[in-house]
Amino acid sequence: MPGESFRFIHASDFHLETPLGDLDHLPPQLRTAMATAPRDAAAAVFEAALAENIDFLVLSGDLMHPVAAGPHGMSLLLDGFEKLHAANTAVYWAAGIADDPKQWPEAVPLPPNVTLFPRDRAVAIPHQRAGRTVCSVIGRSSEGRSTLHVAGFQTEATDEFTVGVGHGIADASALSGARMDYWALGGPHNHTEIEGGATAGAIAPGSPQGRNGDEAGPHGYVVVDVDAEHTARVRRVETDRFRYLNVAIDSDEIRSAGSLRNLLGQKIGTLTNEHGGRHLLIAWEVTLDNAEVLPSVGDPTELLRNLRRDHGTTNPAAWTTRLTVRPPHNYPKSWQDEDTILGDFLRASKKFAGARVRGNSTDEASTTPSGGDRLDLMPFTEEHSDLSSTASSLLGDVPADQREAILADATLLGVELLRGGKPSWGRKS
């Protein structure tokens, strides 16, 4: 039967106890804004809940750890709840791992408009407006799992639109089997949609503010509008004050711009316009296909310093958190054919390219499928008696996942030195 239209906001994973990270240097002019960014983004959710004429607010966990977030986090949350109580707006909260209900101080009661779902069972609450039920909200707080225990949400079937609220992710098959119209999920810090999980959507909105490079891109909450026919429209709203971006650069782009510095300046201008005046925290990943483009790259350390000076002090700022230049895998054949030390060096490097770099382990295969020879670094460390035992151990037992990159870095350094260029002492700046 046709019901009534209604609207709600779904948000999760405030993590008010967690500051922004993935920064090797904290820009002085942004320190205050960065310190308050998580709270500002969470406050934007409550401001929208008061301004959007919603029927209720759904929170699906990990809002904050009460002890780690401190008085500021607790005050923000309670203040938001109290304002919604004054506006007669209900809050349905399924706690996650950080905000385990057992951690909530008994001396700090929640306002009566807030329902904090228990951990041991699902509770179905008919949400009413003017004495009529417009939907059913079924929630359960997490028992400490990273995945959602869907079987724990079994309740009586109802004709109303049903909103399932829980912390954790499950596959579409399990979620659809619970017959919710909308799944309000928490856990992932990036916006996640599970296709086929529910007719109106199975969504984890992510944190309102990203914290590191793994949480790149837009962050915010969702507004769900449901009409009288139970057709839902979901709209994303962005609240992040700082936005992490991971940007890949290839050699063709560098050639087109004339230099890496020109290219990055152009891209920063474009990104600033695209992301709506937010502060940007950018990690650049530059992949070089061959050595011919090296003169257009320059010194990564100097380039990083210039990028931070030229673009990191503006408002909004575009701060470069990391500049990684991946060395080329191929060098001109004419260089390799030279009857010079450089030629000998490149031929030796090619011999070991793709091979395992041997450390202390004795059970490693001598070659990889590509047929490269095994490179044993231990004799090189033994030739230098002034090396500490720690340095010898680190150099002589290279982690498997770092070996190819280390050989590529060493090759680039050798090429720069032997060709008389200024060495770039590291890929990462």
Q: 393 and 273 share a domain?
A: no
Q: 167 and 219 share a domain?
A: yes
- Check: CB of residue 317 under 8 Å from CB of residue 278: no
Q: 222 and 250 share a domain?
A: no
Backbone phi, psi, residue 376, to 5°: -100, 115
Q: Is the pLDDT of residue 237 over 80?
A: yes
User: Over the stretch 251-276, which tens digit does the pLDDT of each residue have?
Assistant: 999 999 999 999 999 999 999 999 98
Q: 113 and 232 share a domain?
A: yes
- Check: CB of residue 301 under 8 Å from CB of residue 401: no
Q: 59 and 203 share a domain?
A: yes
Q: 272 and 396 share a domain?
A: no
pTM of this structure:
0.85
Residue 230 lies in a domain: yes
Q: Is the pLDDT of residue 123 over 50?
A: yes
Q: 255 and 272 share a domain?
A: yes
Q: Is the pLDDT of residue 370 over 50?
A: no
Predicted confidence at residue 352, as pLDDT, reads 78
Q: 61 and 118 share a domain?
A: yes
Q: Is the pLDDT of residue 427 over 50?
A: no
Backbone phi, psi, residue 85, to 5°: -60, -45
Predicted confidence at residue 428, as pLDDT, reads 47
- Nearest CA among 170, 166, 222 for reference residue 196: 170
Q: Is the pLDDT of residue 367 over 50?
A: no
Residue 361 lies in a domain: no
User: Over the stretch 34-51, which tens digit does the pLDDT of each residue have?
Assistant: 999 999 999 999 999 999
Q: 288 and 387 share a domain?
A: no
Q: 168 and 195 share a domain?
A: yes
pLDDT band for 358, please (50, 70, 90 cuts): very low
The β-bridge relationship of strands 202-204 and 182-186 is: parallel
Of 195, 213, 240, the last residue of a domain is 240
User: Over the stretch 87-115, which tens digit does the pLDDT of each residue have?
Assistant: 999 999 999 999 998 888 888 899 999 99
Q: Is the pLDDT of residue 418 over 90?
A: no
Q: 253 and 322 share a domain?
A: yes
Tally of domains in the chain? 3
Q: Quick one: residue 274, left, alpha or beta (phi over 0 = left, psi -120 to 50 = alpha)?
A: alpha
Q: What does the alpha-carbon distance between residue 194 and residue 65 come to, in Å, rounded to a whole number? A: 27
> By residue range, what is the domain housing residue 266?
243-326
Q: What does the alpha-carbon distance between residue 284 and residue 280 come to, in Å, rounded to a whole number? A: 12
Q: Is the pLDDT of residue 326 over 70?
A: yes
Residue 100 lies in a domain: yes
Residue 406 lies in a domain: yes
Residue 331 lies in a domain: no
Q: 52 and 22 share a domain?
A: yes
Predicted confidence at residue 422, as pLDDT, reads 55
- CATH code where residue 89 lies: 3.60.21.10
Backbone phi, psi, residue 200, to 5°: -95, -10
The CB density around residue 38, as the number of other CB atoms within 10 Å, is 28
User: Over the stretch 140-154, which tens digit does the pLDDT of each residue have?
Assistant: 999 988 899 998 887
Of 240, 271, 306, the last residue of a domain is 240
Write the CB contacts of 139 (distance below 8 Å, at least 6 apart in sequence). 92, 93, 94, 115, 117, 122, 123, 125, 164, 165, 166
Residue 363 lies in a domain: no
Of 220, 240, 260, the last residue of a domain is 240
Residue 109 lies in a domain: yes
